[in-house]
Amino acid sequence: MTQEARPVFPFTAIVGQEEMKLALILNVIDPKIGGVMIMGDRGTGKSTTVRALVDLLPEIDVVASDPFNSDPKDPELMSEEISEKLRKNETLEIAKKKIPMIDLPLGATEDRVCGTIDIEKALTEGVKAFEPGLLASANRGILYVDEVNLLDDHLVDVLLDSAASGWNTVEREGISISHPARFILVGSGNPEEGELRPQLLDRFGMHAQIGTVKEPHLRVQIVEQRAEFDESPNDFRSNYEEMQRQLTIKIIEARESLKNTEIDYEDRIKISEICSELNVDGLRGDIVTNRAAKALAAFEKRTKVTPQDIFRVISLCLRHRLRKDPLESIDSGDKVREVFLKYFETN
């Protein structure tokens, strides 16, 4: 486990908040789940948990020295420059790189997020001089937005565009540059500080709700752990080194076995029936629930999804997609679970 300049609190040391931890792990196993929105009270460890994920992220193959983390095999995940090299049968130098986690600050400018084109260089030298932004760095990685419900509307629009197409396009003075921008969008926020725009909320594959830990003995444990970590971060981290390593291996194995994990046709029908009864708009809820259930089965080293797997993930995948009164809060999951039991009661 790498020791960083600013040591990160170990993921395996975090007490409670199982729903949030599960949602984050499943998104690392299958990035196509579409990210996770974490809503909860202030001081419940939302950003600590997300940043703790950094230690667990596996390595991926990238084209060396490419600012977009281009995949050497998948055309959808490589920049136009790398695609051009492949067409010319040029040899690509491949390197291993840890899945990146990029923070998107609330005060970031659009240029910082999307990247900028150097017009002067483009005009004088005739080259597309592009300075990549945060979306370029986040390609094939995680883009984390803390207090996402406070994000400026113009940045929300940028995220919506990239999340919808998987590409970021920068245009200026008749010059246009595009690059892949497929990332796991992770957001956290406090519901008291305002709701998220419905279009952005729908883009999150999963929605985790967390509350303040109530049990006194767990609260004491959390306080003690935090004090130990603040006093000697590296010593504290070393106590969890083996647990971190085991969890990382489990995630890597799950990513590899995911393609062999199956979900019965009858169960897929039931998932769609549940979505239909709950009046979930669109088909994203069906797709995400199927993906999350398969990722959970793979994580637990099984090749077949069980109804219990679906039960554990379905409220995470659907609660924020239910049609609701604008003044009503997001369903805690009870309504989703109630309808689930109606269709899976025989299992």
For 168-213, write each residue's pLDDT tens digit: 888 777 777 888 888 888 988 888 777 777 778 888 889 988 877 7
Choose the final residue of a domain: 210, 232, 267.
210
Provide the terminal-to-terminal Cα distance of the chain, rounded to the nearest Å.
42
- Determine the Cα–Cα distance for residues 299 and 79; give it in Å rounded to an integer: 31
Choose the final residue of a domain: 153, 187, 210.
210
Query: Residue 3 pLDDT > 60, yes or no?
Result: no
Contact (Cβ atoms closer than 8 angstroms) between residue 272 and residue 293: no
Could you tell me if 119 and 197 lie in one domain? yes
Of 112-116, 291-295, 321-325, give the lowest mean pLDDT range: 321-325
Could you tell me if 291 and 185 lie in one domain? no
Could you tell me if 39 and 130 lie in one domain? yes
Query: Residue 1 pLDDT > 70, yes or no?
Result: no
Name every residue whose Cβ is closer than 8 Å to that of residue 248 and which is 6 or more positions away in sequence. Answer: 55, 56, 58
- Determine the Cα–Cα distance for residues 251 and 245; give it in Å rounded to an integer: 10
Could you tell me if 192 and 262 lie in one domain? no
Could you tell me if 302 and 181 lie in one domain? no
263, part of any domain: yes
More confident residue, 323 or 61: 61
Structure tokens at 200: 């952005």
Confidence (pTM): 0.86
Contact (Cβ atoms closer than 8 angstroms) between residue 67 and residue 132: yes
Could you tell me if 182 and 266 lie in one domain? no
Q: What's the whole-number mean pLDDT along residues 122-146?
A: 79
Task: Write phi, then psi, for 106 (nearest 5 degrees).
Answer: -60, -35
Could you tell me if 194 and 109 lie in one domain? yes
Catalytic hit among 140, 255, 284, 321: 284
Q: What's the whole-number mean pLDDT along residues 214-243?
A: 86
- Determine the Cα–Cα distance for residues 138 and 16; give it in Å rounded to an integer: 29
Q: How many Cβ atoms from other residues are within 10 Å of residue 104's Cβ?
A: 24
Counting Cα atoms < 13 Å in the Cβ hemisphere of 151 gives 28
Contact (Cβ atoms closer than 8 angstroms) between residue 133 and residue 103: no
Name every residue whose Cβ is closer than 8 Å to that of residue 168 and which is 6 or more positions away in sequence. Answer: 114, 115, 133, 135, 136, 158, 161, 162, 178, 179, 180, 181
237, part of any domain: no
The amino acid occupying position 208 is: A
Could you tell me if 21 and 105 lie in one domain? yes
Q: What confidence tens digit (pLDDT) does each residue in 252-284 have?
A: 999 999 999 999 999 999 999 999 988 888 888
Query: Residue 2 pLDDT > 50, yes or no?
Result: no
Confidence of residue 61 (pLDDT cuts 50, 70, 90): confident
- Determine the Cα–Cα distance for residues 297 and 292; give it in Å rounded to an integer: 9
Could you tell me if 20 and 125 lie in one domain? yes
Q: Is 272 exposed, middle or buried (0-12, 13-18, 19+ CB in 10 A)?
A: middle
Structure tokens at 273: 């029936």
Its domain, for residue 174, covers: 11-58+99-210
241, part of any domain: no
Contact (Cβ atoms closer than 8 angstroms) between residue 56 and residue 9: no
1, part of any domain: no
CATH of residue 292's domain is 1.10.8.80
- Determine the Cα–Cα distance for residues 187 and 193; give it in Å rounded to an integer: 14
- Determine the Cα–Cα distance for residues 284 and 182; give it in Å rounded to an integer: 17
Query: Residue 46 pLDDT > 50, yes or no?
Result: yes
Could you tell me if 204 and 266 lie in one domain? no
Q: How many folded domains does the chain comprise?
A: 2
Could you tell me if 177 and 268 lie in one domain? no
CATH of residue 112's domain is 3.40.50.300
Q: What confidence tens digit (pLDDT) does each residue in 25-38 have?
A: 999 999 889 889 98
Could you tell me if 42 and 177 lie in one domain? yes
Task: Write phi, then psi, for 117 (nearest 5 degrees).
Answer: -105, 130
234, part of any domain: no
- Determine the Cα–Cα distance for residues 280 and 274; give it in Å rounded to an integer: 9
User: How much is the mean pLDDT over the chain?
Assistant: 84
316, part of any domain: yes
Asked if 284 is an active-site residue, the reply is yes
167, part of any domain: yes
- Determine the Cα–Cα distance for residues 255 and 138; give it in Å rounded to an integer: 19
90, part of any domain: no
pLDDT of residue 148: 85
Contact (Cβ atoms closer than 8 angstroms) between residue 278 and residue 318: yes
Confidence of residue 347 (pLDDT cuts 50, 70, 90): very low
Alpha carbon 160 to chain centroid, angstroms: 14
